[in-house]
Each structure stands twice: as C-alpha cells, then as structure tokens.
Structure 1
Amino acid sequence: MNKTVLIVDDELDLRELLKLTLAKMSISAIAVETVKEAKSELKQQSFDLCLTDMRLPDGSGLDLVAYVQKHHPQLPIAVLTAYGNVELAVESLKLGAFDFLSKPVNLSRLRNLIGNALSLPDAAHIESMIDEPLLLGESQHMQNIRQQITKVARSQAPMHISGESGTGKELAARSIHQQSARAKNLFAPVNCGAIPSNLMESEFFGHLKGSFTGAIEDKMGLFQAASGGTLFLDEVADLPLDMQVKLLRAIQEKRVRPVGSESEVEVDVRLISATHKNLQDAVMEGSFRSDLFYRLNVIDIHMPSLRQRPEDIEPLTKEFLKHLRSNGKAVELSNSALDALRYYNFPGNVRELENILERAATLCEKNRIEVTDLKLNGDSSGQEQSKIARPERQPAEINSLDDHLEEIEKKILLDTLERSRWNKTAAAKKLGISFRSIRYRLQKLGLDD
C-alpha cells in the first residue's frame, strides 16, 4: 500500500528536497506552506507521516504538533528545527512529536526517521507481537503505566524511567521497545555502574585494534551494536562526569568516535535511561550534568513501588508460582503464607517477591509453602513476622507518600544535626552525603534558617 507524507514548510527549496527524497523511497507527498493549509489537508485525507518546519508564516510547528496529538493521535509528526535550537526540539518531543531533525537536513538521518516512522506498528499488530505482557498487575498504577508506555512507544524521544530497585524499570524499557518501530532490532541493556571507568568509553563507543593495551582486535561499541534499536542505560546516575560529557555529545550529534579512530560513525539509537536515585538531586549535588539530565529526561515514567500497589501482590504471587510450576516445581501457597506476603513491606519490591517465592519453593516440604518457608526479612519466626510487618505498611492512613517520606527525611536530618551540634559538615559525614547535598536538602525542607 502506497504511503503518503504531508510536508509543511514555507521554503520552496526544502519542500522540493523533501519531496525528491520521498519520491526516491517510493513515497508520495503533499506539500503546503502554512498551519492553516496543513489542518485543511488533514481534514480531507489521511497521512502516514507529517514533516513540519518549526517556524511557519501563521504559527509554529509546536501548534501543529499539539493539533495532531489532539485530532490525529496515531499520526507520527516530526519537526525540522534550526541548528542548535535544542530547547524547541525537546519541547516538541514533550508535546508528542515522533522525532526532530536539525537544519540543514542530513539526508541519511531523514531517511532513517522516515523509515522508523512508517514502521510504527498499529494496535492490532502490537497485540499480535506480544505473547504476554512484561509488566504484570491490574492496579490503577500499573494500568496507567501500561497506557503511558503504549503512548510513548510511538515516539523516538529519549526517556527516563525512575523508581526504586526491583520495581521493573528494565521490563518497562523492554515493553517500550517491544511496542515501537524498533521492535525488530536490538534492545541493548547496560548497567552503567557495572562497567570499570577505564573501559567505559570503549564499551559505549568501541575501539580499534592496538588503541590501548589489551585491544587485540577491533570492537564495536554499544551505540553501534544497538543502531536501529534501543539502548537502555540502567543506573545512569553512576556514570562519571567525564563520560557524561561524551554521552551528551553522542546524543546531540548522533555520532560516536571509537577509541583510537580519527573518524566518527553515525548511529541511530533510541535512548532509555533509568536509575533508582533521584537525578534532580544528583544535578543539585553536582554529580550529574544538568544538560545531560535535560536531554535524557524528555519523557519520564515513574515505576511505583509494590507498597503503593498492594492489590497486585496476590496476582503477582500466582503468576510467579505458575512460572515455578512450568519449571518443574509444583508448589502451592498456604493461605497464611499469602496473608503474610500481603502485609510484608517489600523493600526490594517485585524482584524481592519473586526471589522469596523461588527460595521458599526450594525450602518447603510436601510442595506446600508455609509462612516459615518465606523467611521474610531473613526471619523464620513465621506468624510472628506477619504480625510485626502488618503495622509497618498501612497506606490508607497516609495521605501523601511524598509528604510522609519528607517528614521521615526531616526527622533524620534534625536528629543528626542535633547530635552534631548543628555542624553541617559533621552531620553530612555521619549521613554519608556531601556538604552540598545536606545544604540542598535543608533548603528543600525549609530547615536552612
């Protein structure tokens, strides 16, 4: 079926260049000059992609992005911006643009963008590709997350996934990739905190044989390996500052230079980052660059803790037990054990629940998991543990989790400052944070008087 693209630009030369590029790809095009004309065309016929300039005679490309998101949400729209106008480009992504290109237009990148946009799967195709959802749970939290993922998967925008350890950040990233135009290509996960700092540049950008001691052959870096696909940077807050500079350049230029090479290689990856730390706090503390944060955090998804969705504990437990049975461990869970899990605090979230059940399946007798087999918090006292854990988590009594955590943080800071006779340097040392960090936290909590 022939594809049709709507071009919106008031420069004749650029309209002709775009039409010629599309014609060589066997794609038809209709070109107009204004927002008004674009809206008129969108009402008359359907398109497979819209390419719009940012500055138009009767408005902005941002206006058109917002209009398309409201009236034609399934239509990918890409924005052409003046070189270096990153803020407007990022704003267009936040409004829902599929991607952006800087002028003068790089034809290779333009062809990649068009190819990716026209490869976006429709809802029926997504359902046929996904054997079973990666993110389980029927709580309102998880329904919202899955809806967000379905929406953002249609974009090329960099994404940041925040949340505690064990909440499923990598599964969310995989789900985004699975529903995107890049689904047939590589999903490359990397834990930034697990790579030795002296090998980090080589791992990300590759190296040439002989470029350093131990480089016995050419090696392709993660950016090249994942080109056409998705690169998932887990624990991105652990990147050292010098590597953050190089990562920012790779994102901006869409090019990387392998170690030992004099030339750069063009790459086409979608970046998804994640961390259990608060990146904004890291920026304030000076351990994370604000410009990199700005580029990575275009779209943010926050994964809820298991404490925030206790209604998902039982269905998750049943799913994990089903998985254990399929692997040859035909185990059942007693009602008292399930009750103990319902009232447990789960500091390690979903990952901890899975690990508890796997361990209990190995320890239990007669293929039946009892409370004592769960060893919650490393305690084997069974029912006693359930009684102890019960009052620790009563979300119905807390109006706002953020306010509750803020009160806890305030109490810890005040107690430590009291013990340190209000010596902020000494208090920061006791808490294991920097002086700059304690000063920022005191200002945030209104305790800096």
Structure 2
Amino acid sequence: MLKILVVDDDKNSRDIIKLSLENSYEVDVALNGVHALELIRSKSYDVVICDYVMNEIDGIEVLKKLRKIGSNAVFILITAFGSSDIAIKAIQEGAYEYLSKPFKMSKLKQIIQNVEKGLNESKTFNETNKLENDFDDQVIAESSVFLETLKDMARVAISDVPVLITGESGVGKEIVAKSIHRYSKRSKYPFVAVNCNAIPGSLLESELFGYEKGAFTGADKGKPGYFEQAQKGTLFLDEIGDLEFDLQVKLLRVLQEQSIRRVGGIKDIKLDVRFIFATNVDLDKKVQEGKFRADLYYRLKVAEIRVPPLRERKEDIIPLANYFIRKYNTFNREIKLSNKAEKLLLRYDFPGNVRELENIIRASLIKARYTGIILDEDLNIKEEFVKDTITKEDILQVLEKTRNNRKKAAELLGVSRATFYRLLRRYNID
C-alpha cells in the first residue's frame, strides 16, 4: 500500500484530501512544511502531496529539502496561485506533477494511480538539472492546456534527446524551442535557429553543412555552417517538413553519425549539438504519401511537443495581449484594453494564432496613443472569424430597450456596428 503524506497549512484542504485517499492508501498529514520535513526524516513516504503557499517555507522549498535529505518520494505540488514559473520550477526541481486549485479529486486519484503503476518500473524522479533562471516572460501560460505543454517542455529540457515541436503557424514553436534551450545544460552555448523555407533549396545544404574554399564558384574562403555554429548548443530547424528529399537523407546521416562534412571537404567534423525540429504539417501523412522519409521521421520525434493553437487556450489571450501592449508601447502613457476590446478578442478564433494577436495589438497601439484605451474597433478584427454567441432573442431585447437605436444596441451587446448589422442579416431582422 502506498504511503502518502499530505502537506497543507489549511486544515480543510488537507482533511478533504486525506478523507478522499485514506480508504485506498496509508495517509499521514503535516501541518506545514517544517512539520513535513520532520515526518519525512523519521518515515519513508512514496508520495508527498504539498501545497505551494505556506508559512515559514513554501512547497518548492519543501521539495528542495526533501531531495537534499535523500527522499525520492513522488512529489505533487498543489496551489491556488498558479503560474507558469511555479510549474516549470516545480517540474525541474523533481516534482512529478503540478495541480492548480480548484481541482477535481478524481484527477488527483488518477495521478496517484499512475504513480502506483509507475513505481513498478525503473523511473527516476530526482532530476539533477534544475532551472535557476526565471521563465522567459514571452511565454504566457494561464490556460491548463498550455500549462501541460510547458510541463512537457520542462521534462524534455533536462535531457539531450531530439525534439519535434508540432503546431499551426504562429503558435510560438520557436519560443518553446528557445525555452527548451534556455533550461537545458547547453544554455550557456549558442541557440541557432534556421527556417528551412527561408533559404533557397540550392543554398540550404551549404548553409547547413558549411563549405571549404573553392568548393564552388564564389567560395573564396571556407565557412562553417549552422551545424558547426551550434556546437555545444542547440540547433533549431523550423519547417522541417518541407525539407527536400536529398537533404532528408543527409540529415538522417547527421543524426546517426553525429558528424558532418563540409561541402567540398575531405574530413568529418564531430558534432556536439542538441537538435530541435518544428513543423506545421502532418508528417505522418507526408510519410504515408512518400514525401518524407519514415526513418528520419522516427529519428526526429524521439520526444514530441504539440503547441496548441490560441483558440484552444482562451485564458491566455488577454494576458498575451497585455504583454504585447507593454512590449510595443513606446508612447509616454499607459495604454489598456477596453472591456469591449477584451470581449471581442475572446470571441475571435485567431487563425494566425499568437503571431496574429501580436500584430493586431501592435497596430491598435497607434490608434490608442492619444486616448490610452484600445477600443474594439481599433483591433481591426476579421469579422468572419468572430464567433457569434449572441442569439436572435438577445438582439430583439436590446432593440426594444434602445427603441430601435442600432448604435446603442451594438454597444450594449459589446459588438461593433459591422458585426451587429451582420447579425441582423443572419437572423432576418428588419
């Protein structure tokens, strides 16, 4: 039977967890972090469920001290004050899982069941490569779906395996790649990013592999390629799904041999490089169509991270928008989103994802520089991608309330006049 320690200075919280688990497991409780460490020194636990915000020492400190005294207990951090920074630090310090309050007890039970199964296998929870830097403020993660992506990123960062990042255009695949590099043991060395589509196919080989003097017309001197430039660091190859077939063969050889030969060269150069790849195409489909080598595909996806589109992480839209406002606000005044602008952003599908949101905010700042407020009409949103949650009854009610004043009706509904007239046509309202 698993031995579980519940650590929380909130009596109600720890009692609820204890009552939910004690029928299946042996459960002890600790009143705070200090009490928890006293118990851990005298008794061995399989799982520690610990709150983050506590007096004297917080959950992360409990985890650090727990590892320092040699305990390999599976650590689950819970908190009502969640952030991507806390999640990443917890995972990197060796936590098995991170839960934001409120959470369903069924989810906690499922995690513990997975732990119970996993303890029968050879797994190490005491990861030694820790994050010491704060998380890049370009990565906004308030949605549960993107927080899961960051958990995957944190786990991958401490290893050295090749990573395949998938997702639609504009979701932030390069930012995730940079974050993996930043939190890896290679962080002090170069991060080299290459967009395979941005370089003509005829030049890509020489740019990747480098070339020797006289290798071709115009090669007056030798030049190291991107592989060599990334030595000891990370090479990020974006849009890998569009790589020409002959270069796919050569890249596979690089991954197998961990060495390259410059164009026109006669000796191999040993590589010490971590590879991260990204694509917005379905590589499984391309393999089935014979347009992408299956052996290369399986080499690329040793670890795979999917970056969700912005429409799946609605909770991040307003925090991201506010970040971009701070980033691009060069005017001598504070600028904020109006309530209607926020509502419109939340109803928009963002086919261009985070990149589109960034461009929308950047453009809207010009209009808002005098007023300090970004209005909904300043966003210049594409109407066809705005989701309508307004019913015909809603429209009829506000028209009656405003005595058929359509401008006021649109304002009450929180939509632009253009959207309002489109709704009138949709519902055949005269």
**What's the TM-score once normalised by structure 2's chain length?**
0.61
- Asked if 1:165 is matched to 2:217, the reply is no
Q: Which residue of 2 aligns with 1:151?
A: 155
In structure 2, distance between residues paired with 1:289 and 1:375:
43
Structure 1 residues 390-422: Cα deviation after superposition (integer angstroms, max 9, x where no partner):
9xxxxxxxxxxxxxxxxxxxxxxxxxxxxxxxx
Q: Which residue of 1 aligns with 2:349?
A: 345
Q: Which residue of 2 aligns with 1:262?
A: 266
| Amino acid corresponding to residue 304 of structure 1 in structure 2 | P
Per the alignment, in what secondary structure is the counterpart of residue 193 of structure 1?
Answer: coil
CA 1:329/1:164 → structure 2, altered by over 3 Å: closer, same or farther?
farther
Q: Report the Cα offset of residue 385 of structure 1.
A: 5.5
**Count of residue pairs the alignment pairs up:** 281
Per the alignment, in what secondary structure is the counterpart of residue 376 of structure 1?
Answer: coil
Structure 1 residues 163-209: Cα deviation after superposition (integer angstroms, max 9, x where no partner):
01111100111111111111111111000011111111111110011
Q: Report the Cα offset of residue 69 of structure 1.
A: 7.8
Q: Report the Cα offset of residue 328 of structure 1.
A: 5.2
Q: Report the Cα offset of residue 146 of structure 1.
A: 1.2
Equivalent position to 2:416, from 383, 403, 421 = 383
After TM superposition, what 4+ stretches of structure 1 lie above 3 angstroms from structure 2? 66-71, 131-134, 325-330, 384-390
Equivalent position to 1:121, from 109, 114, 129 = 129
Q: Which residue of 2 aligns with 1:29?
A: none
8 Å CA contact 1:232–1:272 kept in 2: the answer is: yes
Q: Which residue of 2 aligns with 1:174?
A: 178
Within a 5 Å distance, the mapping from 1:168-207 to structure 2 comes to 168-207=172-211
Per the alignment, in what secondary structure is the counterpart of residue 159 of structure 2?
Answer: coil
In structure 2, distance between residues paired with 1:151 and 1:298:
13
- Asked if 1:73 is matched to 2:106, the reply is no
Q: Which residue of 2 aligns with 1:228?
A: 232
| Amino acid corresponding to residue 291 of structure 1 in structure 2 | D
Q: Which runs of 5+ in 1 are unaligned?
A: 1-44, 48-65, 76-119, 391-449
Per the alignment, in what secondary structure is the counterpart of residue 201 of structure 1?
Answer: helix
Q: Which residue of 2 aligns with 1:292?
A: 296
| Amino acid corresponding to residue 213 of structure 1 in structure 2 | T
Q: For structure 1, which segment, 323-332 or 269-278, has the greater mean C-alpha deviation from structure 2 after superposition?
A: 323-332
In structure 2, distance between residues paired with 1:183 and 1:204:
21
| Amino acid corresponding to residue 121 of structure 1 in structure 2 | N
CA 1:323/1:256 → structure 2, altered by over 3 Å: closer, same or farther?
same
- Asked if 1:315 is matched to 2:348, the reply is no
Per the alignment, in what secondary structure is the counterpart of residue 301 of structure 1?
Answer: strand
8 Å CA contact 2:163–2:302 kept in 1: the answer is: yes
In structure 2, distance between residues paired with 1:267 and 1:328:
49
8 Å CA contact 2:195–2:238 kept in 1: the answer is: yes
In structure 2, distance between residues paired with 1:387 and 1:201:
54
In structure 2, distance between residues paired with 1:246 and 1:389:
54
Q: Which residue of 2 aligns with 1:271?
A: 275
Q: Report the Cα offset of residue 68 of structure 1.
A: 11
8 Å CA contact 1:324–1:330 kept in 2: the answer is: no
In structure 1, distance between residues paired with 2:349 and 2:421:
10
Per the alignment, in what secondary structure is the counterpart of residue 346 of structure 1?
Answer: coil
Q: Which residue of 2 aligns with 1:367?
A: 372
- The structure in which a higher percent of residues are helix is 1
Per the alignment, in what secondary structure is the counterpart of residue 276 of structure 2?
Answer: strand
Q: Report the Cα offset of residue 221 of structure 1.
A: 0.7
8 Å CA contact 1:344–1:389 kept in 2: the answer is: no
8 Å CA contact 1:192–1:238 kept in 2: the answer is: yes
CA 1:209/1:229 → structure 2, altered by over 3 Å: closer, same or farther?
same
Structure 1 residues 251-310: Cα deviation after superposition (integer angstroms, max 9, x where no partner):
100010001111110011111100111111111122111111010011111011111111
Q: Report the Cα offset of residue 335 of structure 1.
A: 1.1
In structure 2, distance between residues paired with 1:67 and 1:293:
31
Q: Which runs of 5+ in 2 are unaligned?
A: 1-69, 73-117, 385-409, 424-430
Q: Report the Cα offset of residue 363 of structure 1.
A: 2.8
Q: Report the Cα offset of residue 214 of structure 1.
A: 1.6
8 Å CA contact 1:145–1:303 kept in 2: the answer is: yes
- Asked if 1:217 is matched to 2:221, the reply is yes
Structure 1 residues 292-332: Cα deviation after superposition (integer angstroms, max 9, x where no partner):
10100111110111111112112212222222336756322
Q: Report the Cα offset of residue 70 of structure 1.
A: 5.2
Q: Which residue of 1 aligns with 2:244?
A: 240
CA 1:387/1:267 → structure 2, altered by over 3 Å: closer, same or farther?
farther
| Amino acid corresponding to residue 72 of structure 1 in structure 2 | T
Per the alignment, in what secondary structure is the counterpart of residue 224 of structure 2?
Answer: coil
Identity %: 41
In structure 2, distance between residues paired with 1:223 and 1:154:
21
Per the alignment, in what secondary structure is the counterpart of residue 216 of structure 1?
Answer: coil
| Amino acid corresponding to residue 186 of structure 1 in structure 2 | P
CA 1:319/1:252 → structure 2, altered by over 3 Å: closer, same or farther?
same
| Amino acid corresponding to residue 231 of structure 1 in structure 2 | L
Q: For the aligned residues, what is the CA RMSD?
A: 2.8
In structure 2, distance between residues paired with 1:68 and 1:263:
48
CA 1:368/1:159 → structure 2, altered by over 3 Å: closer, same or farther?
same
CA 1:67/1:328 → structure 2, altered by over 3 Å: closer, same or farther?
farther
Per the alignment, in what secondary structure is the counterpart of residue 161 of structure 1?
Answer: strand
Structure 1 residues 40-60: Cα deviation after superposition (integer angstroms, max 9, x where no partner):
xxxxx899xxxxxxxxxxxxx
| Amino acid corresponding to residue 383 of structure 1 in structure 2 | S
**What's the TM-score once normalised by structure 1's chain length?**
0.58
CA 1:292/1:339 → structure 2, altered by over 3 Å: closer, same or farther?
same
CA 1:274/1:210 → structure 2, altered by over 3 Å: closer, same or farther?
same
Q: Report the Cα offset of residue 370 of structure 1.
A: 1.2
8 Å CA contact 2:190–2:230 kept in 1: the answer is: yes
